[in-house]
Chain A
Amino acid sequence: MPAMRVRQAIATAIADEMRTDPTVIVFGEDIAAAEGPFKTTEGLLEEFGPIRVRDTPISEMAFTGAAVGAATMGLKPVIEIMFMEFLGVALDQLVTEGAKMRYLSNGKLSVPMVVRASVGGGLGFGGQHSQTLENWVAATPGLKVLSPSDAQSAYSLLRAAIQDPDPVMFLEPRVTYAERGEVDTNLKMEIGKARVVKQGKDLTIVALGQMTNIAREAAAASSLDIEVIDLCTIVPWDKKTVLASVKKTGRLVVVEEQPQSGGWGSEIVAAVSAEFFGELKSPPIRITCPNVPVPYNGGLEARFLPNATEVNYQIDQLMATGKAPQPWWIREGF
C-alpha cells in the first residue's frame, strides 16, 4: 500500500474518479494552474485538461451555484472552498438552492456535487480562517456532511462522496494535509458509516476530523481500555456503530473541535442518553472548544483546541466521580 500525504490522497481520489467517470469536473480558486493553495488538486489540470479542471474568479456564490446547476444537468462537480469560512458568501446556493433541488423538483432532479472545504485550527490562521463550522451545514436536510481524519479516510470517503447522487459537504481538516498515511485504494468507505479506529471496553470516545487523532493519542496514554470511533459522517451519522459501542462500554465521551454551543456532539449525546437512560455508568460528556473565536496567538490557540491531556483529565474525573467534569475554562474561572 502506498503511503501518501492527506493532500495527495485527496488529489488521487479525485483523479481516480475522473478517470472512471467523465462527468466529474473540478473547479475552485487557483486549483488548476497552481494546483490548489494546499496542493490538493495536484496533477489534475495536466491529466484532465482545462475543460474539466478550471480556475474560478473569487466568486464563491457563482461557482457554488454553478456546481448546483451543472449537477442538475448531468455533471458531477467537485468544487473547492479554500477555507470553510468562505462558504459564508455562497451559503444560499448550497443550503437553500442545492440542498432543496431534489425536494422542490418532486424528486426529478439530482444534485451529485461535492463541496470540499478546508477546516479547523492549529496553524495560526486567526479568527476568520480557523473554524470548523460544520454546524453551518449540518442542520440542512438534503445535504450530507463528511469529514475525514487521515489519508485513508480522505481517499475513500472522497470517492464515496463523488459517487453519491446527493450534494455532499466534505470538510478537510487543514492540519492533516501534510500528514502521511497508508492508503489502500481498493478500500471502500460508506457515507453514514463510522470507523472504529481502536477497540476498547471501558469507555467510548466519538471524535471527528483532527480530533480523531487527539482521541487516539488520549486512548494510547490512558490506563483505561478506550474504544475510539471516528465518526466520519456527521449527517447522516452512524447511530448503529455508536450505540453498539456505548452499549458495550456504558460510557460516552465526545471530542469536538468547535465551540460548545450548537456542536454535532449534542446530537450524539442526546441520542445515547435517550437510548440508554438509566443504563449508563456515567453521564455522557462533550469535550469541546470554548465559546470564543479562534485566537491567533499560538499558546492560546493550543489551549482553545481540545488536547489529549485535557481529554484524559476529563475521563479520569468522570471515572473517579461519576459526574460530568467542568471544562477547563470553568475550572479556571474564565
Chain B
Amino acid sequence: MSKGLERRKAILSDPVAQFERAVEIREFETQVNALFASGTIRGTTHLCNGQEALAIGLASVLRTDDPVSATYRSHGIALALGLTTESAMAEIMGKATGCCGGLGGSMHLCDLELGLLPTSAIIGGGMPIAAGAALAFQVQGNDRVAVAIFGDGATNIGAFHETLNLAAIWKLPVVFICDNNVYAEYSRINLTTPIEDLHIRAESYAMPHFALDGMDIDVVREGIQSAVDRARSGGGPTFIEAKTYRFAGHSRADQALYRPEGELDSWKSRDPLLLLEERAKKSGKITDAQIADMKVRKAKEIEATVALCQNAPEPSAKTMFENIWSRKVSQ
C-alpha cells in the first residue's frame, strides 16, 4: 500500500489519528505561511486554519475512488485525503518531487490515487467537473460518488447555479459541500449575498439540503455520510453548507483587518483542533502527556519536511513541455 493510502486509512475512524492529522495540517499551514512571509516561496497561498474538521471529516467518509473537486484553499483537504506532507510541501515550493512536479504550486494540488482531482483556482470552476464525474459514474452504472467542495463566495457565480440545476435534473451521484467560512477575500458574506443560510439556495433546485457545524467532526461525518449514502444508492445530489470560519487572512498578504472585533476570538473558542483534542481524550486512547508529545513530534516532522523539500530538486526545463497533449508534439 502506498504511503498516501496508508495515511488515508489511518484517519477513517480513529479519533486520535484524526486529531493528529488536524495537528499536522495546522503545523503545515504555519510553516507554509512562514515560508511565504520570508519570501522563500513566491506566488500566493490560502491557508485553511479553522477548516480542518471539515477536511478530515470528508476524507474519513469518502472512498478513495470517490473523486473530490476542490479549490485553491486545499492544503488541508489534500493532507486529509492522504497526500503526504512531502508531496504537498514540495509542490508549494515548486519542486520536482511535488504532486504536480512543481509546475502547479499552492493552488494546484492533486493526487488521483486518493481521489483528489486537480484543484481549481477559478471560483466555481470545479463544480461542473464534479457533476461530470458523477455523470460518468451514472452512465457506467457503478456506485462511485463525486464531491465538489467550494467556498461561500462561489454561491454567487453562474457555474454554481447551472451545476446545481443540472445535477438535480439528472439526479447525479454528487455531493455539494459549501465551506462557508464567512469570508470571500476581503468581503464578509453578508455584504455580497442577501441570505445567511446558503444551503437554502438548493431549495430552488429541489435538492435535499442542510447546514451543519463544520467545526465538529462528528457532525461533519454524519452529515456527509448521509449525503454520500443517498448519492451512492441512486438518490441523487445533496447540498451541504458547512459553517466554518477562516482563521487566517484570505491569502498571504491579507491581515484581515476588516473583521468585526471579537468575531475571530469567538470562533476560535470552537477551534476544530480544541474539539478534536477533547474528543481524542474522551476516547481514552491518549493522555495529556501523549498529546503534548505528539504536538512536538508533529511540529518536528513538518520542519523536517520543509528541510527535505528545500533540498529537493527543481523540475527540469523538459518537464515544462510534458503533459500538454497525450503525445508530445514539438513546435
**Which residues on B sit within 8 Å (CB–CB) of A59?**
156-158
Which of A121-129, A187-195, A235-243 faces chain B? A121-129
Q: Does B235 contact A (CB under 8 A)?
A: no
Q: Does A88 contact B (CB under 8 A)?
A: yes
Structural contact, A89 and B321, CB atoms closer than 8 A: no
Q: How far, in angstroms, from A30 to B184 measured CA to CA in the complex? A: 9
Q: How far, in angstroms, from A33 to B306 measured CA to CA in the complex? A: 37
Q: Does B73 contact A (CB under 8 A)?
A: no
Structural contact, A37 and B314, CB atoms closer than 8 A: no
Q: How far, in angstroms, from A304 to B321 measured CA to CA in the complex? A: 10
Q: Does A167 contact B (CB under 8 A)?
A: no
Which of A13-21, A100-108, A221-229, A295-303 faces chain B? A295-303
**Which residues on B sit within 8 Å (CB–CB) of A140?**
none
Total number of residue pairs linking A and B with CB closer than 8 Å: 129
Q: How far, in angstroms, from A170 to B140 measured CA to CA in the complex? A: 46
**Which residues on B sit within 8 Å (CB–CB) of A295?**
102-103, 315, 319-320
Contacts A128-B120, A303-B317; is A58 near B184 (CB within 8 Å)?
yes
Question: Given B95, B102, B122, which contacts A128 in the complex, CB threshold below 8 Å?
Answer: B122
Q: How far, in angstroms, from A260 to B324 measured CA to CA in the complex? A: 14
Contacts A29-B185, A260-B331, A297-B315; is A329 near B321 (CB within 8 Å)?
yes
Structural contact, A290 and B315, CB atoms closer than 8 A: no
Structural contact, B102 and A296, CB atoms closer than 8 A: yes
Q: Does B269 contact A (CB under 8 A)?
A: no
Q: Does B159 contact A (CB under 8 A)?
A: yes
Structural contact, A300 and B121, CB atoms closer than 8 A: no
Structural contact, B121 and A57, CB atoms closer than 8 A: no
Which of B3-11, B166-174, B187-195, B212-220 faces chain A? B187-195
Chain B contact residues: helix, strand, loop or mixed: loop
Q: Does A34 contact B (CB under 8 A)?
A: yes
Residue of A nearest to B103 (CB): A295
Q: Does A55 contact B (CB under 8 A)?
A: yes
- Interface flags for B282-313 (1: CB within 8 Å of A; 0: not) read 00000000000000000000000000000000
**Which residues on B sit within 8 Å (CB–CB) of A261?**
331
Contacts A334-B317, A334-B318; is A127 near B104 (CB within 8 Å)?
yes
A148 nearest CB across to chain B (Å): 23
- Interface flags for A42-81 (1: CB within 8 Å of B; 0: not) read 0000000000000111111110000000000000000000
Residue of B nearest to A37 (CB): B185
Structural contact, B94 and A296, CB atoms closer than 8 A: yes
B231 nearest CB across to chain A (Å): 26
Q: Does A279 contact B (CB under 8 A)?
A: no
Question: Given A129, A296, A332, which contacts B317 in the complex, CB threshold below 8 Å?
Answer: A332
Q: How far, in angstroms, from A85 to B324 measured CA to CA in the complex? A: 19
- B interface residues, tally (CB under 8 Å): 43
- Interface flags for B110-135 (1: CB within 8 Å of A; 0: not) read 00000000001111100000000000
Q: How far, in angstroms, from A59 to B187 measured CA to CA in the complex? A: 13
**Which residues on B sit within 8 Å (CB–CB) of A125?**
43-44, 105, 107
Q: Which residues of chain A in 283-334 are interfacial with respect to chain B, using CB atoms and an 8 Å cutoff?
A: 290-293, 295-300, 303-304, 329-330, 332, 334
Structural contact, A123 and B43, CB atoms closer than 8 A: yes
A87 nearest CB across to chain B (Å): 11
Structural contact, A34 and B105, CB atoms closer than 8 A: no
Question: Given A37, A57, A290, A292, which contacts B192 in the complex, CB threshold below 8 Å?
Answer: A57
A61 nearest CB across to chain B (Å): 5
Structural contact, B122 and A88, CB atoms closer than 8 A: yes
Question: Given B106, B156, B193, B324, which contacts A291 in the complex, CB threshold below 8 Å?
Answer: B324
Structural contact, B104 and A57, CB atoms closer than 8 A: no
Question: Given A57, A61, A128, A297, which contacts B153 in the complex, CB threshold below 8 Å?
Answer: A57
Structural contact, A334 and B107, CB atoms closer than 8 A: no
Q: Does B108 contact A (CB under 8 A)?
A: yes
Structural contact, B321 and A58, CB atoms closer than 8 A: no
Contacts A33-B258, A55-B191; is A292 near B324 (CB within 8 Å)?
yes
Q: How far, in angstroms, from A329 to B320 measured CA to CA in the complex? A: 10
Structural contact, B94 and A89, CB atoms closer than 8 A: no
Structural contact, B186 and A30, CB atoms closer than 8 A: yes
Q: How far, in angstroms, from A320 to B330 measured CA to CA in the complex? A: 26
Residue of B nearest to A34 (CB): B186
Question: Given B122, B153, B158, B330, which contacts A334 in the complex, CB threshold below 8 Å?
Answer: B330
**Which residues on B sit within 8 Å (CB–CB) of A304?**
320
Q: How far, in angstroms, from A247 to B247 measured CA to CA in the complex? A: 61
**Which residues on B sit within 8 Å (CB–CB) of A88?**
122
Contacts A292-B321, A298-B94; is A124 near B105 (CB within 8 Å)?
yes
Q: How far, in angstroms, from A58 to B193 measured CA to CA in the complex? A: 10
Most chain A CB within a 10 A radius of its CB, from B43, B102, B106, B107: B43
Q: How far, in angstroms, from A281 to B245 measured CA to CA in the complex? A: 64
**Which residues on B sit within 8 Å (CB–CB) of A298?**
42, 94
**Which residues on A sit within 8 Å (CB–CB) of B192?**
55-58
Q: Could you pull out 28 A-B pairs where Cβ atoms are within 8 angstroms?
A: A30-B186, A34-B187, A37-B185, A37-B186, A58-B124, A58-B156, A58-B157, A59-B158, A61-B158, A89-B122, A89-B158, A124-B42, A124-B43, A124-B94, A124-B105, A125-B44, A126-B105, A128-B107, A128-B120, A290-B320, A291-B324, A295-B320, A296-B103, A296-B104, A296-B105, A298-B94, A300-B314, A334-B320
Q: A59-B157, A126-B106, A334-B321 are in contact. List 14 more A-B contacts (CB 8 A).
A: A34-B186, A58-B123, A86-B123, A89-B157, A124-B43, A126-B43, A126-B107, A128-B107, A129-B107, A295-B102, A296-B105, A296-B108, A299-B314, A332-B317
Question: Residues of B with Cβ closer than 8 Å to A?
Answer: 41-44, 94-95, 100, 102-108, 120-124, 153-154, 156-159, 184-187, 191-193, 258, 314-315, 317-321, 324, 330-331
